[in-house]
Amino acid sequence: MSALPFSTTCRHSNPPLHPHFKSSFTGFGQRNNIWQLCVITKSSSSRAIRKLRVKNVASDKKKELKEPLTGQGTSNEFVPDSTAIASSIKYHAEFTTSFSPEKFDPNKAFFATAESVRDSLIVNWNTTYEYYERINVKQAYYMSMEYLQGRALLNAVGNLQLSGPYAEALRKLGYCLEDMANQEPDAALGNGGLGRLASCFLDSLATLNYPAWGYGLRYKYGLFKQLITNDGQEEVAENWLEMGNPWEIQRNDVSYPVRFYGEVISGPDGSKQWTGGENISAVAYDVPIPGYKTRTTVNLRLWSTKVSTEEFDLQAFNTGDHAKAYAAMKNAEKICYVLYPGDESIEGKTLRLKQQYTLCSASLQDIIARFEKRSGRTVNWETLPDKVVVQMNDTHPTLCIPELIRILIDVKGLSWEKAWDITKRTVAYTNHTVLPEALEKWSLTLLQDLLPRHVEIIRKIDEEFIHEIISEYGTGDLNLLQEKLRKMRILENIELPDSVAELLNNTIPAVDSVEEIDVDDNDIKATNKKDEDGDDEDKAGEDLVVENKIEMTFKVDRKLPMMVRMANLCVVGGFSVNGVAEIHSEIVKEEVFNEFYELWPEKFQNKTNGVTPRRWIRFCNPDLSKIITKWIGTEDWVTDLEKLAILRKFADNEELQLEWMESKRRNKIKVASFIKEKTGYVVSPDAMFDVQVKRIHEYKRQLLNIMGIVFRYKKMKELSAEERKQVFVPRVCIFGGKAFATYVQAKRIVKFITDVGATVNHDPEIGDLLKVVFVPDYNVSVAEMLIPGSELSQHISTAGMEASGTSNMKFAMNGCVQIGTLDGANVEIREEVGEDNFFLFGARAQEIAGLRNERAEGKFVPDPRFEEVKSYVRSGVFGSYNYDDLIGSLEGNEGYGRADYFLVGKDFPSYLECQEEVDKAYRDQKKWTRMSILNTAGSYKFSSDRTIHEYARDIWRIEPVVLP
């Protein structure tokens, strides 16, 4: 049965249940592939029932449900009708929900509805993994610090094909489905594109029937909730778990020990034992993720941390030392308090590292336990890579590599050679950034203190890798060898291992002239000083002076910290390294990891990101979805997005264009209402809706956008009212996104945007011709509201700095025309939607380094319009806040926080000229609508289904498993 559309206008506010409506509780169970109603008989005289005003009456008749689900692996499935669903919701309202029985308010109704849906998910979840266990299939395990799930209710009932029955059931109970969906808080488990990508991948894995499992952390307070005040952005803790989470299932029987600190003891046989230190437990919380039109339901397992009851110091508590009494408990619990805790202090760095290790350790222990269970009595560890593949989403889970080796050697008794070989065939790495500061490095001292056994393992990996480098490049060209070691070693600014020093002693030819310099044995490393043929003395740290008097040094710089380069460890320890867009993957190969690519070209791949069309068109934009289905002639595009290309042949059809424009306007009206509710600003749906929503960062260049708006505003003020209307298209410029709490410059940008908005939006001369809106607390639900109503979206990062981006894909799918640079997935989007349907500006990626050098040499000449805007901002027209530091970052030729590193000034004139083209195109609504249709038609490549098929085929080597 196809999901019935539900009304977007709900007339029921909060009426009581109909006084004559009675039903039995119905849960959903499955037996012999037939859905059945499970009926509970109870007396209607119960006092609790009277308070709830939900009367459950005994029923002696089980209703057989007749309407089958359609899709893969579901031919024998049956779905409940609205009466059964209403009864199930009422049961959960009385017996499951954590609310008082006196009333059936919207929040309680939401929880009861969600728990009713969860019943179906659990049935499918159990069926899925019982079957996987039985056939012992290879599984992919996706390891990510973030999962930006968004609300789950509409997605779950939509994937289950139960939107219609649930909408009808809730109408019977006095509510509407959309009201219930709006009661749900967004799960605060992520921040931006990294976490949203992970969530899209889980949806596609389930929909495509791939055996997989996600692992993450259950953050109690998330990143933060963003408030916009007169001072700009303020952060408060997220309260998403305050009322509980109806989608999660706490697994009290699934927990694993996680150790920090302590010491490593060597046994007489060479074995290692990590003992002592601080011990916590990681407890599992499971969140079922349903596929679309399939029973396959994958699992997202989140870890929460605690200690045993024995750790509570009752004696200290009774003597009044309460802080000491629960210190161990709080120390364990805080690991999962906040996503990305501030790391300016050593305590913050330690907490972040604890988070990463907790994710890796608990998840791998769980994976190993499942592997052993499936293997039966005899475990053949050589087959682990045939049954398990671990995908590290960015460098946060890098500790999976030494942790897997530790488990295999210290716990399972394997040799180093076997454990290292198995690990290298099990773990894969996705790179998400080319920014040096985002390629994680950890202090060796901190790692040594917190994870002493893992440092031993990392040192061993580094040592073996150095030997591999020497084997590949030899010692004939010491200059080359030194450069390779400087760029490729896992350990940075750390002495060469003894075995390497000995090898160099034995292989580098002696020379007559050697000058000895005192160097600490413990502080030596390869540097990048130029050298030719040389000779090593007894110590690897001694300087070598050869016949031509050029020095060759292998020593550390005591002024610099000793670091562990996590990205290098990922490349060395993983069997696959992939970028997330074609241009990004080329930069990864040619720049970021060029030396590794030359050594192991077979490791490197591209997997262009994608987004799930279920959430990002089908459910968030039902109006447009109906139009697409009508003109394509089938709803199959929801799981086969290539069918969107059919729209191209109708792009000039006036009937389709009219329907398309009407749909966009209805969505714009919703956005205008949302803006009024969230910000108080009134905007006109007749204006162009121009949107930039993403994490606030200098490289994403929200500053370029707002400075362009300031220029537009200034020019408007210089014209008469009549001239303004002739020159400028009305625009509502919408921003959204969070600046990290300690990222001062990003927070200045937020403040600047809100100050410009406060001035422009209250200017009676400008009126509806220009509005500037910053939507607070941007998240998935806000995106689901804004994207369908957007007409122009801005993806204007400095070329070569955005790995991919995924919001650009969501906007394109929803018929939003884009303005952007040739960066990340913009390159491929422009190719697919057509160059004429994408507004391109700015420098190209290959030009960026040269432009920065030109700036450093003092050769850059700013455009007069750029200087005009800076002066206008400094004039105080947008308030009394001092923007010297913000504007100063765009000035000068060198220095940290100056010299316009992200080339705002360079691209500013090109950006203004491109915006003039945008205005010109928007005046011709027929042309603009055609561009909009072709953006949707060309977005088919950017389905996460396509991405997951490629991961499964090229990296994970797993096959779809359709449930019988």
Q: Which residues belong to the active site?
A: 432, 694-695, 700, 806, 810
Question: How many whole angstroms separate alpha carbon 594 and alpha carbon 588?
Answer: 7
Looking at residue 385, what DSSP letter applies? H
Total count of residues recorded for the chain:
964
Cα dihedral 494, 497, 502, 505, rounded to 10, equals: -20
Interstrand relation of 225-229 and 249-260 (parallel, antiparallel or unpaired): unpaired
Outline where DSSP puts E strands in 420-530: 427-430, 441-443, 491-492
CB 136 within 8 A of CB 374: yes
Question: How many whole angstroms separate alpha carbon 923 and alpha carbon 920?
Answer: 6
Question: How many whole angstroms separate alpha carbon 554 and alpha carbon 86?
Answer: 74
CB 355 within 8 A of CB 397: no
Cα end-to-end distance, the chain, whole Å: 20
- How many other C-beta atoms are found inside a 10 Å radius of the C-beta of residue 821? 27
Question: How many whole angstroms separate alpha carbon 69 and alpha carbon 929?
Answer: 36
Question: How many whole angstroms separate alpha carbon 121 and alpha carbon 280?
Answer: 31
Question: How many whole angstroms separate alpha carbon 819 and alpha carbon 914?
Answer: 8
User: Tokens standing for 192?
Assistant: 């931006």
User: Tokens standing for 345?
Assistant: 């202090």
Residues whose CB falls within 8 Å of the CB of residue 125, separated by 6 or more in sequence, listed in order: 286, 288, 297, 299
The count of C-alpha atoms lying within 13 angstroms of the C-alpha of 43, restricted to the half-sphere facing its C-beta, is 4
The 8 Å CB, 24+ separation contacts for 325-328 are 328/278
User: Tokens standing for 501?
Assistant: 């020093």
Q: Please provide residue 94's backbone torsions phi and psi, each rounded to the nearest 5 degrees.
A: -95, -40
Q: Diameter of the chain by CA atoms?
A: 105
CB 10 within 8 A of CB 178: yes
Looking at residue 696, what DSSP letter applies? -
Outline where DSSP puts E strands in 628-712: 688-693
Question: How many whole angstroms separate alpha carbon 101 and alpha carbon 52?
Answer: 5
CB 312 within 8 A of CB 140: no
- How many other C-beta atoms are found inside a 10 Å radius of the C-beta of residue 359? 27
The count of C-alpha atoms lying within 13 angstroms of the C-alpha of 2, restricted to the half-sphere facing its C-beta, is 10
